[in-house]
Structure 1
Amino acid sequence: MLNKTMNWQLIEDELDEYVWDKATAQFWLDTRVPVSNDLLDWRKLSDMEKEVVKKAVGGLALLDTLQSEEGLYALKKNARTLKERAVLSNFTFMESIHAKTYGTILISLNTFKDIEEIYTWMNNDRRMQFKAKKINEFYQNGTPMQVKVASVFLEGILYYSNFFIPLWYRGQNKLANLAELIKLVIRDESVHGTYLGYKFRQDFNELSITEQENFTNWMYSFLEELLDNEFAYTEEVYSEIGLVEDIKTFVKYNANKSLQNMGFDIYFKDASANDVNPIVMNGISIETANHDFFSQVGAGYLMGEAEEMLNDDYIF
């Protein structure tokens, strides 16, 4: 087989280089944000609240590990262009950064015993393992389009039940550094989801009408299966804190966004931005802090220059 040199002057798909520039411009590291500065807030939380936050962070660690080790590898095998492979390599590294970030959060706020307990939980909880198993089944054995759908659903939907809690505390001016890291992760996932949704649509548009209908039926069946588990997981983990319905709405809202990234209509009519808990929306919108005044990096690492991708970013 002929090995090809990547020619960055050759334009196979304009979005590849655009996303490469955007993704590399918003590079960041977890070590730039001093999560230990949240210890005062952390100690004021009840044991029940701490447990909820630990499970949220631990669940994200499990899913991001899956994405970095299996998901991006499966996506790269079926890349349409060489530059797409380069973009996905960037995504792979950043997913590893995300997974490490959750470890940094846990280490900064907890004892060794606490950390061991939360890792044991996330490696054995049936709802968490269901998510990972269902997604990984398609990473290992799915078609290229199924792999893309699994990836978009993982990053764009299944993360968000766990993203909710840090944003909720941030909206109340608590755990600011922890939430800043989560917001940096969300900013990356926005780019990943938009890009992979666009790549999915290229594949989808090449199918016949009948093939599109069959695939769409599978996709919505898969979505419902994932959401049934997701809502059961939400009830198990978040009932004590009284936020189950708010989290379900947040998950539905992001499910709509993920489907739109792939070119489909919204699925949940009762989950617009106006339906999402305003405290969480406030947590998302609070301006990012900057902890390193000399090098101009930190939690606000190039946030101004590398904003979230919007639907209009597709249009050239």
Structure 2
Amino acid sequence: MAKNYTAINWDDIEDELDEFVWDKATAQFWLDTRVPVSQDMSDWQSLTDDERDVVKKAVGGLALLDTLQSEAGCHVMRDDVLTRKETAVLNDFLLMESIHAKSYGTILTSLNVRKDIDAIYSWMNNNERMQYKAQVVNEIYKTGDGLQQKIASVFLEGILYYSNFFTPLWYLGNNKLANLAEIIKLVIRDESVHGTYLGYKFKLGYQQLSEPEQKKLTDWMYPVLDDLLENEFAYTDDLYAKIGLAEEVKTFVKYNANKSLQNMGFDSRYPDISLEDINPIVMNGISSETANHDFFSQVGAGYLMGTAEPMVEDDYDF
């Protein structure tokens, strides 16, 4: 006779961080439909054609990568959990990645006519640089082991998203596109939890490897990182050069590459890059208080369920 299937007993503690992250992640639940992106229309119309093109492609790029994460990344990592509560946490992550992917569609729909929306989806589904990073990560999800999959997820969420996060934060720091940027801030708050949790789980597995196995894994990891970064910097040049922000975006990506490696217990790839090197306008966008608060429902454009809080550096850096 088959072995009895057992329920999760949430009173049993296998790993204290599981329940802590579950509580934090579920408390941060949000929906794109509560953020009035259409109220950014006057700001949107004040941008130049080049600026609007950059924002649309940044948001479109995020839609593609978050679709990948919701359909593949969070799913495959459930096959390599250390605890049953970890599966529950990853289920929450999977839902939120789907909400993130949908929220980018909400942004595009709120600010653009149909033909422009179709053009952006065509661009993101065919752009060589976008497709390269999606395909590299997806191949690791398909063929890598559990630790390699965690590395790919941390690189995706902690590095490859950030060239696209830069633009809305930069405009928010310049008092434009506040609602669009509020969605980005909510996503960043989620991703900081996801990346730190997966980095922690990676470290637990990595510590169980022998020294030769650890070396084999890092010998695989760093060429993958450098390859993705080379493509990312080329993508950044393609997207941002026409509005003069390419070098600042690259610095932002390098800073977040350092943070992602640190989350997994490794040294920085760019030790000369620090928080002080990031454009303060972007950091002001990250740290600015939540806008458009709805006091009747107690949620707003930058909300936790039931409460509104300012974004601070600790949220960004979890």
Determine if the TM-score, normalized by the shorter chain, exceeds 0.5: yes
1:131 to 133, 138, 159: 133
The Cα offsets for residues 133-185 of structure 1, whole Å up to 9 and x where unpaired, read as 00000111100000000000000000000000000000000000000100000
- Show the counterpart of 1:304: 309
Distance (Å, rounded) in 1 between the aligned partners of 2:291 and 2:177: 13
Alignment partner of 2:149: what SS?
helix
Is structure 2 residue 218 aligned with structure 1 residue 213?
no
Unaligned segments of structure 1, at least 5 residues: none
Give the 3-state SS of the residue equivalent to 1:266 in structure 2: coil
1:299 Cα deviation after fit: 1.6
- Quote the Cα distance in structure 2 between the aligned partners of 1:225 and 1:43: 37
Q: How many angstroms apart in 2 are the aligned matches of 1:25 and 1:305?
A: 15
Q: For residue 299 of structure 2, give the secondary structure of its aligned residue in structure 1.
A: coil
Equivalent residue pairs, number: 312
Aligned CA distance change for structure 1 residues 201 and 233 (closer, same or farther; 3 Å):
same
2:101 counterpart of 1:99: yes
Residue in 1 that maps onto 2:276: 274
Q: Which of these residues, 238, 241, 250, is aligned with residue 240 of structure 2? A: 238
Aligned match for 1:12, one of 11, 14, 21: 14
The alignment partner of 2:300 has SS state of coil
The DSSP-based 3-state class of the residue aligned with 1:164 is helix
CA 305–233 in structure 1, closer or farther in 2 if over 3 Å, else same: closer
Structure 1 SS opposite 2:303: coil
Please state whether the residue corresponding to 2:80 is helix, strand or coil.
coil
AA in 2 matched with 1:172: N
Q: C-alpha separation between the residues in 1 aligned to 2:251 and 2:82?
A: 35
Regions of 4+ moved over 4 Å: 305-311
Q: Does structure 2 conserve the Cα–Cα contact (< 8 Å) formed by 1:64 and 1:98?
A: yes
Q: Where does 1:113-132 land on structure 2 (aligned, <5 Å)?
A: 113-132=115-134
Cα distance, 1:152–1:79 mapped onto 2, change above 3 Å: same
Whether contact under 8 Å (1:290, 1:296) holds in the other structure is no
- Verify the 8 A CA contact 1:79 1:85 in the aligned structure 2: yes
Normalized against structure 2, the TM-score is what?
0.95
The alpha-carbon deviation at position 243 of structure 1 amounts to: 0.6
Counterpart in 2 of 1:158?
Answer: 160
Q: TM-score of the superposition, structure 1-length normalised?
A: 0.96
SS of equivalent residue, structure 1 residue 161: helix
* Whole-angstrom CA distance in 1 between matches of 2:109 and 2:272: 38
Distance 2:143 2:165 in 1: 28
Name the amino acid aligned to 2:7: T
Cα shift readout 1:174-201 (whole Å, capped 9, x = no counterpart):
0000001000000000000000000000
Q: Which residue of 2 aligns with 1:25?
A: 27
Gaps of 5+ in 2: none
Give RMSD over aligned pairs: 1.5
Letter of the 1:53 partner, please give it.
V
Aligned-pair identity (%): 67
